[in-house]
Structure 1
């Protein structure tokens, strides 16, 4: 995919108007060493229109008292949720993104969500779940008869949520137990929760203020015939009073480890009647008489179309995880560039970023941020293509295959991005030492707010099985039917050369030759093919030993299919970035640094699979492993002087970043002190001081202590 905007057509004055110079301070030393112009890179990556859009959002927040920060103050959970709702309500007044802009540039949807998340993920989630997940599900899964729900959502007449997960079922969506029984005498569906285990649970916005929900339930028609999982619009509260509707029990599930401004809730339905028209009927409908119909003759095609719709949340989480990496690294690298400790002599301390260990800990995550950010944006645009096909009622085989492919890329991409962000946030926290543990510096909140990304929209380990199953089916079809292995997005096309790839070996003899991502890309192709062969053989062995298909697949997960899915998505992510950085439209002034980031990410990720590379024979001798490690260290050293400028490209304004040690001026200790002293009652004695001053130990207690 070619870059969306070149950024080269802008003169220096227009660049400076759009992107003012950063404040002078201790970080200037590193900025002066950078091999590229950070403004040129930012303009190239995002384009002028997107930068103006971001600036509009960030400026609105900084100038609105409702969004003011309160250092050192921890709000009670109910107050936090009230404030979060008021801020969400204010977003409707700002109306940052109208429908016309969404159609013109769909990436602005993702950008808006991520900008809100940079400020507070609770706010982003609340707004996103209502305005996009609830509304877009209705748009993509429904028809013209449902458009009034979308209009009411945009006018904030109703507030929505997405109710798929139940107490006893999350990842296994086919086993959802909520029922929707059609009653032809009244032309209504009767929504029921069979028992408390089938209650909808973890539903964002449902806890306190959602009035309507997209509810997933098993659709039944007369005679007890089940037509599988379908979605329905169900009113759960009265918009005028926020009291539950008849037959609905709804409430809040309580405090979580993070994102406590978002009210996650539960609900149970007892004979709740909704109009027949509230069935979202894109993939299946019921006539007034109770006859079920679907335009999909092939069940696989219908399921593939619905999978694409369900991928929206997972694709969004990839972007959210990348944002968390951007925030954590902006703080940690700016800190590392201004924090001086030790040195060649007692009179000279050097920035901790100069230490190889600090570079090795942080700079690979910086590379991962850039590579995963490109993957996130391109996958989002693939999803937009799928959704346009749904709106145009495309029933082609390609459309169904596109839905399946996006599903498997999102099912593996979410684990990769969320785990990388989780590990990266923790590494950044530790890399900032004790100051990283201070809540005011935000690294703890970033880590905690990212944590649910590893679980929401499907547990990461379970999701990886979706991807490995797809790959096993590809190779099974190839063996049985001799069909070509290809997909709409070309992510599996290289498997057509399965046998030839397995015959390759690592032949690089110099560290210098590892400085391009093509080296790790070739190794990844071999890795995917090798693990696919091993997984396929293991699966067949299990079946031959008498295991049924479920048990056989279950016994192939650890060491086989789990690793297969991860290396496949790492290959896909790297392949997209490699193609991007080697594209003819890439400016020559930016190409070297971006290529180094790709090479570092590839080798760093590849190094985790060293044992398999040796085990399968792709690597031989000790030199191969040493070369990869030395190349990683060399690339970290080469990128060290660019690290601050690379962070300047991805960091939001200081108000949004909201971290004293991560401010753009680099005045580490001044910013830290200023924030400490702004805290509430910092210099006051405690309210319980009399408990100390009036304490008089008895003689007996003194003797016992002695």
Structure 2
């Protein structure tokens, strides 16, 4: 058994903590910080390490001192202005160059932490930056060395990119994508074409106004008329100087969204757009000058999975983004709950609402989830880094193949779990803060709305659960000595599910009868297994417990409530980044009155100016 890690040995001395993490200002929250059973600085250094904390401090300090990132209370930007400002902020992030290549090699987790830090301020410029560098740039880098010069232009911002997979009528069903890329061996070009508007690329981040190039996914057709499946191509969609559409390209913005309106999601259609033969991203296959197709993947399914390998990148990021939204919402709600006084033992004495068990039941399980998801998302990211390194070095080992399948399955499961958990938590935190939670300036509504698309893009959550279940079913084959047919695997799966009768209404006799009658096994799977998976996640989110477990949990809440503020202090960003009057590090809720007064002063001033003119 491995020894328990010594926190003090791992985190150094107290003087270094104080240098890295200054004390919080005195205020109402000081009471709970004194009650904590641990040193929050020690915990922060233990979880992140000094290097990561220095990086966070560097990013937070840079954003706070930069006029481009200044907050303007009481001023609501139009969507057009917000998108312009977001793009300027994205360009500014390139100028900072927060990480050197050597730092990334030494500690790849710094990339994830950089994304999280910027996202804590605002997800729109963060995602715009990541979509260009990570998804667009990363996909191109994983292809071949012939794109090395092109990659330099990406990171110099000479071009700006997007990742065009989803179509208007085909999102999660990527096999149904209908954009075509037909090879013309006479001109040595591919012809990119959208057969109709339903095949228009849609929901593409960065495409609405700013992208000059796109990684476009299309069905590859060789001169003999054969479809070789889904492949990716670099397509220029706008002029790099004027940003006007290229010939044959119709491109634009899709309109206002529920959240993340700084990010310009767009659409594009292609009318026989010709691109050079070298523009194919030969990750899974290539075409010879004579028009003959070749691929290093003999299995069609493996080729398809490799072609969509970039989707795992997005799902892993969404897991971390959702965990971050969870932490932001909890930072606000728990700090406010520790300072907001309501009711009490006497009419003259009111107590903080965090002392009430109902508030603890609402918030503390999500606090535990935040720590669990944070650790998991970072662990998954480290596994992905290993897998991505294998892609770049063209590894074909069994470990590489197994790692790819496992990352795909884990990311397909963690995205629904984390995004649904964050979504439910944001709503619970909003309600737990009462009317103040509903004020836009306190940011809980923004966090909830910005998290909402995490449940949908890079694969609908319900559909992704099926992919994870397929992976688990395949493992049942590996661990059993005798290989069974799908229908008996299904039978075995159902027998092991103790809650079967409660959650689906199916008994073992029902399953046996359905299987023996010849009913389609896929129908059985969707009717039984999928509800089980969804039910499991729902139980984890809604915290369904038995009476005995509830007693134990209530006992733990009494112990944890005094540590709740300190546990939030470990991951809460500075006040400038959190940008919530009721989530201030000092706990001075009276500052809310000042912010409201400032907001309405701005409104009244504008009204007076308007009347004078």
TM-score of the aligned structures, taking structure 2 as reference length: 0.92
1:310 match: 311
Three-state SS of the structure 2 residue aligned to 1:677 is helix
1:106 match: 108
Question: What's the CA shift for 1:148?
Answer: 2.0
What are the Cα deviations for residues 551-570 of structure 1, in whole angstroms up to 9, with x where unaligned?
44443355335446x49xxx
Number of equivalenced pairs: 600
User: Aligned partners of 2:250, 2:34: CA distance in 1, in Å?
Assistant: 61
Q: Which one of 560, 563, 568 corresponds to residue 532 of structure 2? A: 560
Q: What is the RMSD of the two structures over their aligned residues, measured on CA atoms?
A: 2.8
User: Aligned partners of 2:412, 2:78: CA distance in 1, in Å?
Assistant: 35
Q: Does 1:678 align with 2:598?
A: yes
Unaligned runs of 5+ in 1: 484-494, 503-524, 568-603, 611-624, 692-706
Three-state SS of the structure 2 residue aligned to 1:373 is helix
User: Aligned partners of 2:228, 2:383: CA distance in 1, in Å?
Assistant: 29
CA distance 1:414–1:538, change in 2 (3 Å): farther
User: Aligned partners of 1:196, 1:668: CA distance in 2, in Å?
Assistant: 52
User: Aligned partners of 1:158, 1:86: CA distance in 2, in Å?
Assistant: 14
CA distance 1:635–1:403, change in 2 (3 Å): same
User: Aligned partners of 2:15, 2:595: CA distance in 1, in Å?
Assistant: 35
Question: What's the CA shift for 1:342?
Answer: 0.7
User: Aligned partners of 1:459, 1:72: CA distance in 2, in Å?
Assistant: 36
User: Aligned partners of 1:34, 1:43: CA distance in 2, in Å?
Assistant: 17
1:329 match: 330
CA distance 1:115–1:607, change in 2 (3 Å): closer
User: Aligned partners of 1:334, 1:341: CA distance in 2, in Å?
Assistant: 15
1:196 match: 197
Question: What's the CA shift for 1:648?
Answer: 0.3
Question: What's the CA shift for 1:477?
Answer: 5.8
| Structure 1 segment 226-241 matched on structure 2, within 5 A | 226-241=227-242
Question: What's the CA shift for 1:396?
Answer: 2.1
After TM superposition, where is structure 1 displaced by more than 6 Å over at least 4 residues in a row? 1-7, 525-528, 534-540, 688-691
User: Aligned partners of 1:353, 1:76: CA distance in 2, in Å?
Assistant: 38
2:166 match: 165
User: Aligned partners of 2:273, 2:510: CA distance in 1, in Å?
Assistant: 48
Three-state SS of the structure 2 residue aligned to 1:251 is strand
| Structure 1 segment 358-397 matched on structure 2, within 5 A | 358-397=359-398
| Structure 1 segment 43-122 matched on structure 2, within 5 A | 43-122=45-124
User: Aligned partners of 1:168, 1:543: CA distance in 2, in Å?
Assistant: 34
Q: Does 1:605 align with 2:606?
A: no
User: Aligned partners of 2:7, 2:220: CA distance in 1, in Å?
Assistant: 46
Question: What's the CA shift for 1:634?
Answer: 1.4
User: Aligned partners of 2:573, 2:426: CA distance in 1, in Å?
Assistant: 17
1:516 match: none
User: Aligned partners of 1:309, 1:686: CA distance in 2, in Å?
Assistant: 48
CA distance 1:129–1:685, change in 2 (3 Å): closer
User: Aligned partners of 1:283, 1:407: CA distance in 2, in Å?
Assistant: 17
Contact 1:531 1:560 in 2 (8 A): yes
CA distance 1:439–1:7, change in 2 (3 Å): farther
User: Aligned partners of 1:683, 1:416: CA distance in 2, in Å?
Assistant: 41
Q: Does 1:643 align with 2:564?
A: yes
| Structure 1 segment 199-348 matched on structure 2, within 5 A | 199-348=200-349
User: Aligned partners of 2:32, 2:101: CA distance in 1, in Å?
Assistant: 42
Unaligned runs of 5+ in 2: none
2:176 match: 175
User: Aligned partners of 1:412, 1:122: CA distance in 2, in Å?
Assistant: 25
User: Aligned partners of 1:537, 1:674: CA distance in 2, in Å?
Assistant: 66
CA distance 1:679–1:685, change in 2 (3 Å): closer
What are the Cα deviations for residues 56-86 of structure 1, in whole angstroms up to 9, with x where unaligned?
1100011011111011211101010111111
Q: Which one of 576, 586, 593 corresponds to residue 665 of structure 1? A: 586
User: Aligned partners of 1:380, 1:4: CA distance in 2, in Å?
Assistant: 25
User: Aligned partners of 1:398, 1:91: CA distance in 2, in Å?
Assistant: 36
CA distance 1:466–1:531, change in 2 (3 Å): farther
Question: What's the CA shift for 1:420?
Answer: 0.3
Q: Which one of 18, 30, 33 corresponds to residue 32 of structure 2? A: 30
User: Aligned partners of 2:404, 2:510: CA distance in 1, in Å?
Assistant: 28
User: Aligned partners of 1:246, 1:177: CA distance in 2, in Å?
Assistant: 21
Question: What's the CA shift for 1:635?
Answer: 1.5
Q: Does 1:153 align with 2:73?
A: no
What are the Cα deviations for residues 129-186 of structure 1, in whole angstroms up to 9, with x where unaligned?
111110011112x100112222101000000000000000111111111111111111
User: Aligned partners of 2:229, 2:544: CA distance in 1, in Å?
Assistant: 40
Contact 1:337 1:353 in 2 (8 A): yes
Three-state SS of the structure 2 residue aligned to 1:402 is helix
User: Aligned partners of 1:606, 1:646: CA distance in 2, in Å?
Assistant: 20
2:551 match: 630
Question: What's the CA shift for 1:333?
Answer: 0.4
1:462 match: 463
| Structure 1 segment 402-417 matched on structure 2, within 5 A | 402-417=403-418
1:19 match: 21
| Structure 1 segment 422-433 matched on structure 2, within 5 A | 422-433=423-434
Contact 1:5 1:46 in 2 (8 A): no
What are the Cα deviations for residues 7-33 of structure 1, in whole angstroms up to 9, with x where unaligned?
635221111111111111110100001
TM-score of the aligned structures, taking structure 1 as reference length: 0.80
Three-state SS of the structure 1 residue aligned to 2:224 is helix
Contact 1:178 1:193 in 2 (8 A): yes
CA distance 1:477–1:536, change in 2 (3 Å): farther
Three-state SS of the structure 2 residue aligned to 1:182 is strand
Contact 1:31 1:642 in 2 (8 A): yes
User: Aligned partners of 1:102, 1:289: CA distance in 2, in Å?
Assistant: 41
Question: What's the CA shift for 1:545?
Answer: 3.8
What are the Cα deviations for residues 335-382 of structure 1, in whole angstroms up to 9, with x where unaligned?
000001110011111000000000110000000000000110001111
What are the Cα deviations for residues 108-136 of structure 1, in whole angstroms up to 9, with x where unaligned?
11111111110001111111111111001
User: Aligned partners of 1:315, 1:361: CA distance in 2, in Å?
Assistant: 27
CA distance 1:77–1:690, change in 2 (3 Å): closer
Question: What's the CA shift for 1:649?
Answer: 0.3
Three-state SS of the structure 2 residue aligned to 1:100 is helix
